[in-house]
Amino acid sequence: MTIRPVVIWGDPVLHQRAAEVATFDDDLRTLIADMYETMDAANGVGLAAPQIGVGLRIFTWGLPNEDDVPERGVVVNPVLTVGKISGVDPDPDEDTEGCLSFPGESYPLQRADWARVTGFDGDGNPLDFEATGWFARCMQHEYDHLDGKLYVDRLNPRWHKKAKKAVKEHGWKGAGNTWMPGVDPDPFGH
């Protein structure tokens, strides 16, 4: 297993739709092991393959939940169905998200409280489960990465403006910006 660098906002791989996984083989299993290792070293609760520069439709999670779903898992070629998203402004104390690919920054975002995930595990076995609360938020966040979106792309105008300012301040433009979990300081102070 290898810890891989996490790519930062602006890298093209984060802003394009990831490709479907066609083959379930040892290379895929190695990639998944690397994703777990990277997610753990970064103190993340989820990681999508594009976040380590791989444009494939895979994400891992490591988050306790109350949905009778293992707290650690992977889904390959997921399909996500979500419940209704409230039109109420997000609560900065209750609805704030962060992202390993937008390191050190956190903004409030309204998400659906329920999601259904279907897809495959790393061996090609079918998966089908429901997620609620923060686990549903995690599923939506990671799935967005596979469609070339980061949570900051979904922010309301007030918070989107603050995120754009952070991009400018950090100099996150184009490819080549990364941080290395376990080597660089943890951007979220874990």
Tell me what pLDDT residue 190 has: 82
Asked if pLDDT for residue 39 goes beyond 90, the answer is: yes
Tens-place pLDDT, residues 147-160: 999 999 999 999 99
Q: Which positions are annotated as active-site residues?
A: 142
CA distance 30 to 34: 6
Q: What is the largest CA-CA distance in the chain?
A: 45
Query: Within 13 Å, how many C-alpha atoms sit on residue 34's CB side?
Result: 19
The verdict on whether residue 170 carries a ligand-binding annotation is no
- Say if CB 65 and CB 109 are below 8 A apart: no
Q: Please name the helix (run of DSSP H) or strand (run of DSSP E) that holds residue 141, with its range, or none.
A: helix 133-146
For 175, the token pair is: 């490819």
Tens-place pLDDT, residues 126-146: 999 999 999 999 999 999 999
Rg of the chain taking only CA atoms, in angstroms: 16
Average pLDDT, the chain: 96
pTM: 0.96
Tens-place pLDDT, residues 5-32: 999 999 999 999 999 999 999 999 999 9
Tens-place pLDDT, residues 46-62: 999 999 999 999 999 99
The verdict on whether residue 15 carries a ligand-binding annotation is no
Tell me what pLDDT residue 189 has: 86
Tens-place pLDDT, residues 89-130: 899 999 999 999 999 999 999 999 999 999 999 999 999 999
The verdict on whether residue 141 carries a ligand-binding annotation is yes
CA distance 108 to 92: 5
Torsion angles phi and psi, residue 153, rounded to 5: -70, -15
